[in-house]
């Protein structure tokens, strides 16, 4: 079978590339080892019938703000896309059982901050004003291949509009740690804590260089635009993308893994499937997969590529993740206040010192004594995901060791995730019980995915790393996945990478697939 392009991996980046190429007249096949597409964006009944849980990704704000969505939104909605906006976006709970959160109502957010510090409320408003001017340039940079003429044009335009001082300030933002960035702008620890929690969504503890950008962007984007989740589940984006792909003549092959990337004369020529079929690719093979899977398993060794392969082998994973899905008889009764029930996300990471400690413990191989939690309440916004009057809770445990050396509290014995995951999930729920008494009595069913389980579910999540590679400065921007190969090309002609391991990294923004297709479309 002959195609212009064969895409390995039906995650959202692979699907975005396939849709864009099909729209340009390319014949495209997408192959996926699993029986369902989606990668880390899947929704499934993993507790009880009728309770639809987002397996990994829940927040679709990056997708709703992406260039791919902006170009294809009418067609995506026509093919079944449903999104639900959240006006009450995220909040943090603190040890004294108070809370602070961001809603799209600026007056409401500012009033909450002003109750802690009038100066910080003014600083928040000033930052939002700056964000309005900064956003087109920052998002323009994030939406350009790295490096590229397009990125250079963004920087040039920003310099013309904002001046040299702004470029210096932006470079400082890109290099700063969350703590340094926040200390320079706010005085109250609760304001800093609320923003810094976003750093742990990647792998940025408060004092790690390069970690300031994500807390800044997420805080300001949620204030300015709100948060978005998928109607009925995050898989709404996958279902609409696959339907759109098929409408453009693309083919989706599920339940049939790529076994080998075929090469000839130093170029990728096709993909051999597990069932023995060979799909020939006349123009491109696109691997929406972790580079260590591509160059460690799918390609035959090549001495001419030895130096590159060695660099890919050193590509570091971020910390592991645990997902706990709960079917509930009712939403949590937060001690900090009932208003928290309206928020899409509640962060349980009560101070910067705790965030630093949990990160240090995890990267040292220890089960953190006090885990950092992202608690998603999707049925507060989208009640149709559960039977009438019932709810689901999406609990992401950030950050954990892929390989366990011990327990920071010395209570859990064992170093095998299959053996200790339920005990650690009990610890997590114990922490939650302290902030939401009675939660345990509301649980109708639970499903726990350890870091090992997540990798089994999706081999791209190496060690349960839902980032597909650390985002520290030496693996970000033009160093992602390795220096000299950040523009999706590889040493193998006609073989390209996309996905979270490539620029612009993790998230649901479909940026790498969309940009790669744009670069290939003119060939």
What's the rounded Cα separation, in Å, for the pair 449 and 322? 6
Question: For the segment 291-327, what is each residue's pLDDT rounded down to a tens digit?
Answer: 999 999 999 999 999 999 999 999 999 999 999 999 9
Range of the domain at 415: 318-457
The yes-or-no verdict on residue 177 having pLDDT over 90 is yes
* Shared-domain flag, residues 388 and 513: no
CA 365, distance to chain mean position in Å, is 23
Q: Identify whether 99 is part of a domain.
A: no
* Shared-domain flag, residues 145 and 212: yes
Position 64 scores a pLDDT of: 97
* Shared-domain flag, residues 325 and 443: yes
Q: What is the 3-state secondary structure (H, E, C) of 419-445?
A: HHHHHHHHHHHHHHHHHCCCHHHHEEE
Q: Identify whether 510 is part of a domain.
A: yes
- The answer to whether 455 touches 462, Cβ cutoff 8 Å, is yes
* Shared-domain flag, residues 110 and 199: yes
The yes-or-no verdict on residue 41 having pLDDT over 60 is yes
| Domain boundary residue, one of 220, 249, 276 | 220
Position 404 scores a pLDDT of: 98
Position 166 scores a pLDDT of: 87
pLDDT band at 409 (very low <50, low <70, confident <90, very high): very high
Q: Identify whether 23 is part of a domain.
A: yes
pLDDT band at 486 (very low <50, low <70, confident <90, very high): very high
Domain count for the chain, please give it. Answer: 3
Residue 374 three-state SS: strand
Q: Identify whether 291 is part of a domain.
A: yes
Q: Identify whether 400 is part of a domain.
A: yes
Q: Identify whether 54 is part of a domain.
A: no
CATH number of the domain encompassing residue 489: 3.50.50.60
* Shared-domain flag, residues 256 and 332: no
* Shared-domain flag, residues 75 and 186: no
Q: Identify whether 480 is part of a domain.
A: yes
Name the average pLDDT for the chain.
97
Position 490 scores a pLDDT of: 98
- Percent of residues, the chain, with pLDDT higher than 70: 100
Which of 155-159, 198-202, 257-261 bottoms out in mean pLDDT, i.e. has the lowest?
A: 155-159
| Domain boundary residue, one of 457, 484, 503 | 457
* Shared-domain flag, residues 307 and 326: no
pLDDT band at 387 (very low <50, low <70, confident <90, very high): very high
Q: Identify whether 91 is part of a domain.
A: no
* Shared-domain flag, residues 289 and 362: no
Position 414 scores a pLDDT of: 93
What's the rounded Cα separation, in Å, for the pair 438 and 460? 37
* Shared-domain flag, residues 297 and 239: yes
Nearest Cα neighbor of 465 from 43, 37, 56 is: 56
What's the number of CA atoms in the CB half-sphere (13 Å) around residue 161? 12
* Shared-domain flag, residues 29 and 15: yes
The yes-or-no verdict on residue 470 having pLDDT over 90 is yes
- Per-position DSSP letters for 228-262, written without gaps between them: EEETT-TTHHHHHHHHHHHHTT-EEEES--EEEEE
The yes-or-no verdict on residue 131 having pLDDT over 70 is yes
Position 466 scores a pLDDT of: 94
| Domain boundary residue, one of 185, 220, 255 | 220
Average pLDDT over residues 424-447: 98
The yes-or-no verdict on residue 479 having pLDDT over 60 is yes
The yes-or-no verdict on residue 77 having pLDDT over 70 is yes
What's the rounded Cα separation, in Å, for the pair 215 and 8? 32
- The answer to whether 227 touches 344, Cβ cutoff 8 Å, is yes
CATH number of the domain encompassing residue 448: 3.90.660
* Shared-domain flag, residues 128 and 188: yes
Question: For the segment 369-379, what is each residue's pLDDT rounded down to a tens digit?
Answer: 999 999 999 99
* Shared-domain flag, residues 408 and 512: no
């Amino acid at each position: 079978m002959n195609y212009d392009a064969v895409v390995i991996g039906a995650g959202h980046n692979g699907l975005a590339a396939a849709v864009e190429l099909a729209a340009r007249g390319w014949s495209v096949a997408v192959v996926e080892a699993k029986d369902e597409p989606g990668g880390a964006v899947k929704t499934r009944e993993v507790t009880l019938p009728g309770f639809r849980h987002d397996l990994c990704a829940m927040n679709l704000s990056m997708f709703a703000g992406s260039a791919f969505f902006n170009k294809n939104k009418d067609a995506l909605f026509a093919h079944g896309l449903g999104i639900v906006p959240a006006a009450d976006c995220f909040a943090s709970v603190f040890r004294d059982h108070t809370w602070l959160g961001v809603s799209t109502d600026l007056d409401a957010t500012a009033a909450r901050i002003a109750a802690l510090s009038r100066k910080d409320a003014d600083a928040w408003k000033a930052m939002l004003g700056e964000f309005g001017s900064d956003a087109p340039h920052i998002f323009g940079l994030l939406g350009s291949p790295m490096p590229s003429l397009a990125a250079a044009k963004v920087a040039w335009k920003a310099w013309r509009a904002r001046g040299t001082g702004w470029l210096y300030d932006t470079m400082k933002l890109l290099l700063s740690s969350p703590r340094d960035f926040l200390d320079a702008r706010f005085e109250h620890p609760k304001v800093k804590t609320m923003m810094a929690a976003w750093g742990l969504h990647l792998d940025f503890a408060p004092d790690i260089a390069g970690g300031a950008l994500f807390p800044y962007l997420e805080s300001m984007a949620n204030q300015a635009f709100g948060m978005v989740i998928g109607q009925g589940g995050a898989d709404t984006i996958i279902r609409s993308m696959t339907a759109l792909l098929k409408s453009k003549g693309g083919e989706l092959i599920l339940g049939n893994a790529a076994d080998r990337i075929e090469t000839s004369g130093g170029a990728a020529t096709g993909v051999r499937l597990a069932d023995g079929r060979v799909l020939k690719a006349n123009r491109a093979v696109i691997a929406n997969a972790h580079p260590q899977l591509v160059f460690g398993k799918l390609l035959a060794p090549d001495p001419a590529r030895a130096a590159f392969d060695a660099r890919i082998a050193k590509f570091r994973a971020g910390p592991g993740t645990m997902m706990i899905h709960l079917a509930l008889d009712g939403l949590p009764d937060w001690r900090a206040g009932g208003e928290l029930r309206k928020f899409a996300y509640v962060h349980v990471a009560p101070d910067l010192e705790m965030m630093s400690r949990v990160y240090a413990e995890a990267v040292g191989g220890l089960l953190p004594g006090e885990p950092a939690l992202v608690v998603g309440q999707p049925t507060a916004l989208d009640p149709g995901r559960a039977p009438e009057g019932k709810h689901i809770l999406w609990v992401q445990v950030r950050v954990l060791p892929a390989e366990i050396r011990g327990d920071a509290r010395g209570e859990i014995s064992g170093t095998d995730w299959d053996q200790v995951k339920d005990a650690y999930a009990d610890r997590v729920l114990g922490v939650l019980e302290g902030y939401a008494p009675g939660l345990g009595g509301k649980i109708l069913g639970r499903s726990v995915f350890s870091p090992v389980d997540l990798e089994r579910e999706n081999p791209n999540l190496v060690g349960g790393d839902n980032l597909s590679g650390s985002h520290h400065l030496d693996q970000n921007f033009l160093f992602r996945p390795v220096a000299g190969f950040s523009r999706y090309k590889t040493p193998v002609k006609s073989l390209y990478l996309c996905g979270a391991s490539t620029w612009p990294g993790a998230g649901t923004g479909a940026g790498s697939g969309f940009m790669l297709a744009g670069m290939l479309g003119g060939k």
